Structure 1
Amino acid sequence: MKKAAEYSTRKQLVTMLKKQGSLSVNEMAKQLGITEMAVRRHLNTLERDALLESVLVRQAMGRPVRMYSLTGLADELFPKNYHVLTLDLLKELEEAVDEDPVGNLFERRKDRLLRKYKARMEGKNLKQRVVEMTEIQNEQGYMAAWEIHEDGGFVIREFNCPISQVAQQYGQACRCELDLIRTLLEAEVKRKECLVNGGNKCMYLVSNKI
């Protein structure tokens, strides 16, 4: 209960600073109805996590007052419905023209990523390309891991899908993702499980092309 209460107070502090800009310890204590010592304890935790910064502000009379405000990092604590905007824009684009603009967008994205990562695959054997592909996906937030499969090929597992919100409505996203992996690995790649389709992960079986 104590931890829950502390989290709740900290959340109130962060929300207050988000709405009001910068505040002093005294101002925060009055608004929350707690002691300044309690406020400072929460501020120390937020500063430790790089979510808070402070400056000394001179007053017309009396001693300077330390004012606290949120850092840019704290912005990630607040809701961000980026996928909603993305889906809205894709829907508008889809309805604006007769062709397949969404599919073309994903194809262009795939081509751009191919150009970006192709050099990282040059001169590598299949195992090395699988390792590099896993690293590339991790850089993009896929939480990927690889291992040798019992048939002598390889398995790549991805436990997070950064594009899942979009891919649920636009299958082109998953198809282009698979094409990207196949092209970069220069191998036969089969998707055996997919997060978007209800799986616990995305899983790819990789083998040399025949």
Structure 2
Amino acid sequence: MSGSGNPVAPLSVSHDGHTRAAIVQLLLEHGPITATSISSELGLTAAGVRRHLDALIDAGEARAASSASWQQRGRGRPAKQYQLTAAGRGKLAHAYDDLAGAAMRQLREIGGEGAIKEFARKRVASIVANVSSTTGQDPKATAEKADEIAEAFTSAGFAASTRKVGTGVQICQHHCPVSHVAEEFPELCDAELNAFRDLLGTHVQRLATIANGDCACTTHVPLIQISNLAGAQPAPAIRKEAE
């Protein structure tokens, strides 16, 4: 202890803990993301951010991969993109997974598959209760409705966002509070997709899900009528790199 009585070491550990938590939150909400983007967002040095990222990787809670060619800006070596692993997400909020899974299995035993589907439908309906449906004819209205859906899911703990990609917009859920349960009960994911279709009034395509091991649940929403796409394909979602 110094002459002023300040516990220097404990303060340093505490600061590191808060910084690590902030980095994990960015990986959750915006991953895959580069160390440079994290340092800019948090006002930290890139070297300091990489130290925390290396620690998360060593603990098996994060992984790094080179950016895809379509993400590369300028020349030079592709920047590394970092994201949480399943183990990293598993430390965030799965306290009731076992209980929820047991309850779902009991519901299926009592009411059959129909009861599971109805439960999943009502669960999603409660999340988007304040989101009104649209006809899907106006691209601007469709994009705004996708933003509303993302906001509703963020309020429910899904850390959702939207991004413009090609001829459409993607709804990205960077976290799923029920991902472990959804692995056993895909009806939960199916109900979300059906709700998106009903609210947006257009065909939507699920590109990736956390329950299947991807880094986010990604849904593509076309902003022009399907008949006018002329064979155009939605941009690929960022999927989990092979181990």
Class of the TM-score when normalised by the shorter of the 2 chains: 0.5 to 0.7
The answer as to 2:190 corresponding to 1:158 is: no
Decide whether aligned partners of structure 1 residues 99 and 144 sit closer, same or farther in structure 2, where only a CA change above 3 A counts.
closer
User: What is the aligned partner in structure 1 of residue 183 from structure 2?
Assistant: 168
Task: Kindly state the Cα deviation for residue 96 of structure 1 after the two structures are TM-superposed.
Answer: 2.6
Q: What is the CA–CA distance in structure 2 between the aligned matches of 1:143 and 1:181, rounded to whole Å?
A: 16
Decide whether aligned partners of structure 1 residues 98 and 157 sit closer, same or farther in structure 2, where only a CA change above 3 A counts.
closer
Q: What is the CA–CA distance in structure 2 between the aligned matches of 1:80 and 1:113, rounded to whole Å?
A: 19
User: What is the aligned partner in structure 2 of residue 81 from structure 1?
Assistant: 95
User: What is the aligned partner in structure 1 of residue 212 from structure 2?
Assistant: 197
- Matched pairs, number: 137
RMSD over aligned Cα atoms: 3.0
Match of 1:135 among 133, 143, 151: 151
The answer as to 2:196 corresponding to 1:181 is: yes
Decide whether aligned partners of structure 1 residues 140 and 131 sit closer, same or farther in structure 2, where only a CA change above 3 A counts.
same
1:106 and 1:172 in contact (8 A); partners too = yes
Decide whether aligned partners of structure 1 residues 85 and 131 sit closer, same or farther in structure 2, where only a CA change above 3 A counts.
same
Q: Residue 147 of structure 2 aligns to which amino acid in structure 1?
A: V
Q: Residue 167 of structure 1 aligns to which amino acid in structure 2?
A: A
**What's the % identity of the aligned pairs?**
23
User: What is the aligned partner in structure 2 of residue 73 from structure 1?
Assistant: none
Q: Flag structure 1 segments of 5+ consecutive residues without an equivalent.
A: 8-78
1:143 and 1:159 in contact (8 A); partners too = yes
Task: Kindly state the Cα deviation for residue 159 of structure 1 after the two structures are TM-superposed.
Answer: 0.9
Deviation string for 1:51-100 (max 9, x for gaps)?
A: xxxxxxxxxxxxxxxxxxxxxxxxxxxx9732211111111222234553
2:133 and 2:199 in contact (8 A); partners too = no
| Greater relative contact order (CA < 8 Å, ≥ 6 in sequence) | 2
Q: What is the CA–CA distance in structure 2 between the aligned matches of 1:127 and 1:99, rounded to whole Å?
A: 34
Q: Residue 205 of structure 2 aligns to which amino acid in structure 1?
A: K
Q: What is the CA–CA distance in structure 2 between the aligned matches of 1:121 and 1:113, rounded to whole Å?
A: 17
Task: Give runs of aligned pairs for residues 91-110 of structure 1, distance below 5 A.
Answer: 91-98=105-112, 100-110=114-124
Q: What is the CA–CA distance in structure 2 between the aligned matches of 1:80 and 1:163, rounded to whole Å?
A: 7
Q: What is the CA–CA distance in structure 2 between the aligned matches of 1:84 and 1:98, rounded to whole Å?
A: 20
Q: What is the CA–CA distance in structure 2 between the aligned matches of 1:104 and 1:94, rounded to whole Å?
A: 11
Task: Kindly state the Cα deviation for residue 121 of structure 1 after the two structures are TM-superposed.
Answer: 6.0
Task: Kindly state the Cα deviation for residue 187 of structure 1 after the two structures are TM-superposed.
Answer: 2.1
Deviation string for 1:110-147 (max 9, x for gaps)?
A: 44445x13438699711211221121121111112212
